[in-house]
């Protein structure tokens, strides 16, 4: 039987395929959908809507219910999850049956032509390849699959919450319904379940009512702060720019850049000359008293310029914003509007930038020690990329050296500043200067006119990890787990639960090899003697798999106890050495069990 490795591989793959088909069918029948159903009857004349909308649950008794639009994705991911989680007992069952039933039946009375150990020795490479595949599935595929399923569960929950909020208003008897909230909630639902016809029809009806004004936030991207052009500019460059503006008779801009150049290098007379000539030109342009409106415009323009030069970029922004409405052709106004936008980005942001992410799911309930004296809580973080994020419902508690609360404040919104690695907690309105959000102090007083910036020790990726619950560590691979343990340790958490899971993951490939060799040994030990294939034995395949799964669970629990005790007593790296020595010993015993088998 020289082709034993190939035939072993075929049997294992056949079991894999059969198991995946079983888990796929199981996932189909076990899937429980939740959907929005009903009919809408509108009466535009009365501005009312007769609603018969409801949440339809396919299996109300089921603990896990998923939106119907996730059905195919959920079934596939659940099949993959179950297959990987049961892969080791499936492999063990395949090997036991192969060496106890299939191979003895195929060989017949003549038995093996070569010693058993020689035949098995040719299969070692096959099991090493299978171990690599198993490791790739458990570390590369399974964490992503678990994370995807968790996200779909979360999206289902918040989608239902959005619908219920909208439906409660729609179905109420109150004639004065807040349709703006209805539209907002239904739009949020459709971002998750975009093809639901009932919700789409309801939203279309609400938008069609003349009295309802849909909130427009499209200008937030258009009016985003321009890039900082002045960074790393030398005084010579600024003087050239000031001179160019002076020649174009844009004297405010010329004065602005001349002042910047002078502040960078006070030894340059050109900067002083251009500034003086610009001031004289500005004074010469001052209108006479009969031009009241022009004089007001000029005075506001000059006030905005002086305000910006004094460093009060937020007030300057509102001044130039108002002036830009009166004159779209004034290049000075547009220039200084952009400059003020550029400068306020370091200490504030616009409210609508944050509010457009209010209904977007993010990373919730982040709590960490920013430093030994500062505890920070963030209710939700929207991570856009590695350098951009928005925060909602921020709470900061600062302790003195006696561990008593020195300051305690909250802020509704925050934006991450990548350059300073901090949270900016001052949100201003794009159009109205009297509307803003900044930290509210519960304990202590503001050390500045407003304490709007909080430096962060962890970066955004670390915050993403800190927002994960202990359940979510199953979504991480070995490298992520190792990094996560360090982040937890630096942020006031214990890292041992993560380190135990990390050790379990390291032990996983060893367990795969050990169980595979023991299964071969056990199968050959129990091989049939009559050389007729017992078909009834196939009925016990699910039972054998289930028993092996539970035996493996007990084995892994025992390993966990040893690892946990070692970790707490002597630390991570000594526990890792104990793990490697223990697994090497078990692997040696499993190979000895094969070598002890008779032909």
Mean pLDDT of 174-193: 79
- The ranges assigned to domains in the chain are 4-208, 235-350, 357-451, 473-595
How many Å is the Cα radius of gyration of the chain?
35
Q: What's the pLDDT tens digit per position in 53-63? A: 677 777 766 77
The helix/strand/coil state of 424 is: strand
Residue 564, class by beta-carbon neighbours within 10 Å (0-12 exposed, 13-18 middle, 19+ buried)?
middle
Helix (H) or strand (E) holding 391: strand 388-399
pLDDT for position 260:
77
Q: What is the spatial distance between Cα 69 and Cα 46, in angstroms, rounded to a whole number?
A: 34
Q: What's the pLDDT tens digit per position in 476-507? A: 888 888 888 878 777 778 888 888 889 989 99
The two structure tokens encoding residue 580: 């490697």
Confidence of residue 511 (pLDDT cuts 50, 70, 90): very high
Strand 33-43 relative to strand 48-57, pairing:
antiparallel
CA 584 to chain centre: 38
Q: What is the spatial distance between Cα 165 and Cα 393, in angstroms, rounded to a whole number?
A: 21
Q: What's the pLDDT tens digit per position in 113-132? A: 445 555 566 678 888 889 99
434-440 long-range contacts (CB < 8 A, ≥24 apart) are 435/351, 436/351, 437/351, 437/411, 437/412, 437/413, 438/411, 439/396, 439/409, 439/410, 439/411, 440/409, 440/410, 440/411
Asked if pLDDT for residue 585 goes beyond 90, the answer is yes
Find the DSSP H helices in 285-401. 292-309, 313-326, 331-344, 351-355
Q: Residue 68 half-sphere exposure, CB side, CA atoms within 13 Å?
A: 13
Residues 6 or more apart in contact with residue 390 via CB below 8 angstroms: 353, 354, 357, 381, 382, 384, 413, 414, 415, 416
Asked if pLDDT for residue 579 goes beyond 60, the answer is yes
Q: What's the pLDDT tens digit per position in 125-168? A: 888 889 999 999 998 899 889 888 888 888 888 888 888 888 88
457 in Cβ contact with 490 (< 8 Å): yes
The two structure tokens encoding residue 168: 């409660």
What Å distances lie between residue 577 and 26, 507, 573, CA to CA? 41, 11, 6
Mean pLDDT of 178-200: 83
Q: What's the pLDDT tens digit per position in 445-467? A: 766 545 678 888 888 888 877 77
314 in Cβ contact with 428 (< 8 Å): yes
Top-confidence residue, 533 or 450: 533
What Å distances lie between residue 27 and 33, 65, 77, 142, CA to CA? 12, 13, 9, 16
pLDDT for position 220:
34
Which residue has tokens 């809580």?
Answer: 377
Confidence of residue 235 (pLDDT cuts 50, 70, 90): confident
Asked if pLDDT for residue 225 goes beyond 50, the answer is no
Top-confidence residue, 227 or 559: 559
Q: What's the pLDDT tens digit per position in 519-528? A: 888 887 777 6
In the chain, what percentage of residues exceed pLDDT 90? 16
């Amino acid at each position: 039987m020289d082709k034993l490795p190939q035939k072993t591989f075929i049997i294992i793959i056949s079991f894999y395929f059969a198991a995946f088909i079983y888990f796929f069918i199981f996932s189909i029948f076990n899937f429980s959908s939740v959907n929005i159903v009903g009919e809408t009857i509108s009466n535009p004349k009365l501005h009312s809507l007769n609603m018969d909308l409801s949440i339809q649950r396919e299996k109300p008794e089921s603990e896990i219910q998923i939106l119907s639009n996730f059905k195919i994705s959920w079934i596939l991911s659940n099949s993959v999850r179950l297959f990987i989680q049961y892969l080791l007992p499936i492999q063990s069952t395949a090997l036991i049956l192969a060496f106890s039933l299939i191979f003895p039946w195929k060989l017949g009375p003549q038995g093996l032509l070569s010693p058993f150990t020689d035949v098995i020795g040719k299969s070692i490479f096959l099991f090493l390849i299978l171990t690599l595949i198993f490791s790739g599935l458990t570390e590369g595929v399974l964490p992503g699959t678990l994370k995807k399923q968790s996200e779909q569960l979360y999206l289902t929950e918040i989608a239902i919450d959005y619908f219920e909020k909208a439906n409660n208003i729609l179905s109420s008897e109150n004639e004065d319904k807040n349709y703006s909230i209805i539209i907002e909630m239904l739009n949020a639902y459709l971002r998750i379940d975009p093809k639901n016809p009932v919700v789409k029809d309801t939203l279309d009806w609400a938008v069609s009512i003349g009295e309802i004004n849909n909130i427009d936030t499209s200008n937030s991207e258009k009016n985003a702060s321009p890039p900082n052009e002045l960074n790393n500019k030398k005084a010579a460059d600024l003087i050239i720019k000031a001179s160019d503006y002076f020649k174009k008779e844009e004297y405010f801009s010329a004065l602005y850049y001349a002042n910047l150049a002078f502040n960078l290098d006070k030894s340059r007379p050109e900067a002083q000359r251009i500034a003086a000539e610009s001031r004289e030109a500005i004074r010469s342009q001052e209108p006479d008293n009969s031009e009241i409106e022009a004089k007001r415009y000029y005075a506001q323009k000059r006030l905005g310029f002086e305000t910006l030069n004094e460093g009060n970029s937020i007030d300057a922004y509102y001044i130039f914003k108002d002036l830009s409405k009166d004159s779209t052709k004034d290049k000075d106004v547009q220039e200084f509007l952009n400059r003020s936008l550029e400068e306020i980005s370091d200490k504030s942001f616009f409210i609508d930038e944050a509010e457009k992410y209010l209904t977007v799911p993010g990373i919730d309930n982040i709590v960490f020690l920013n430093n030994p004296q500062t505890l920070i809580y963030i209710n939700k973080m929207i991570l856009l990329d590695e350098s951009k994020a928005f925060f909602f419902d921020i709470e900061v508690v600062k302790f003195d050296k006696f561990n008593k609360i020195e300051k305690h404040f909250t802020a509704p919104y925050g934006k991450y500043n990548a350059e300073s690695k901090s949270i900016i907690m001052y949100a201003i309105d794009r159009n109205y200067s009297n509307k803003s959000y900044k930290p509210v102090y519960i304990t202590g007083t503001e050390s500045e006119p407003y304490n709007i910036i909080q430096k962060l020790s962890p970066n955004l990726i670390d915050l993403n990890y800190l927002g994960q619950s202990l359940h979510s560590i199953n979504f991480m691979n070995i490298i992520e787990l190792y990094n996560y343990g360090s982040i937890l340790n630096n942020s006031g958490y214990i890292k041992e639960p993560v380190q135990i899971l990390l050790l379990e993951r390291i032990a996983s490939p060893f367990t795969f090899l050990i169980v595979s060799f023991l299964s071969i040994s056990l199968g050959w030990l129990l091989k049939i003697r009559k050389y007729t294939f017992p078909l009834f034995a196939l009925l016990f395949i699910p039972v054998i798999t289930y028993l092996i799964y539970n035996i493996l669970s007990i084995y892994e629990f025992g390993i966990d106890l040893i690892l946990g005790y070692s970790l707490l007593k002597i630390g991570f790296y000594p526990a890792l050495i104990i793990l490697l020595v223990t697994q090497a010993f078990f692997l040696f015993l499993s190979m000895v069990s094969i070598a002890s088998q008779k032909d």
